[in-house]
Amino acid sequence: MKVNDLIHAGSFKVVNEGDNSQREISVPYCCDLLSIAMGKMPEDSAWVTVMGNINTLAVAALADASCIILAENSKLDEAALNKAREQGITVLETELPIFDAALMVYKQLNA
């Protein structure tokens, strides 16, 4: 499944559509501690987190996440939103808890 497919599946609200919509999603990955996410996140993950600050964007870019999904109705702050636009990173959001959001990605990946 590509990032584009997840964007258009309608399960999540699109905060920023990045320039990587043709990228394949490997797996959903859940973590809020940035250094753990940085070290452990598999490449091309759909990263589900509640952290919406600018460092989340940096970690996603450097650890090669395919997209960020903000769970529990978390929002990007303004600096982070600007960074997402500038770096072309896809960011989605949902009211769902982290597990449910990741499960939804998992189900779509394995549909």
Q: With CB under 8 A as the contact rule, which of the stretches 5-13, 18-26, 62-70, 95-103 interacts with another protein?
A: 62-70
Three-state secondary structure readout of 26-60: CCEEECCCHHHHHHHCCCCCEEEECCCCHHHHHHH
70 counts as binding another protein under rule CB under 8 A: no
38 counts as binding another protein under rule CB under 8 A: yes
Give the SS3 label for residue 107. helix
Give the SS3 label for residue 109. helix
20 counts as binding another protein under rule CB under 8 A: no
* Kind plus residue range of the DSSP H or E element containing 16: strand 13-16
55 counts as binding another protein under rule CB under 8 A: yes
The residue ranges that bind another protein (CB under 8 A) are 32-36, 38-39, 43, 51, 53-56, 58-59, 61-64, 79, 87
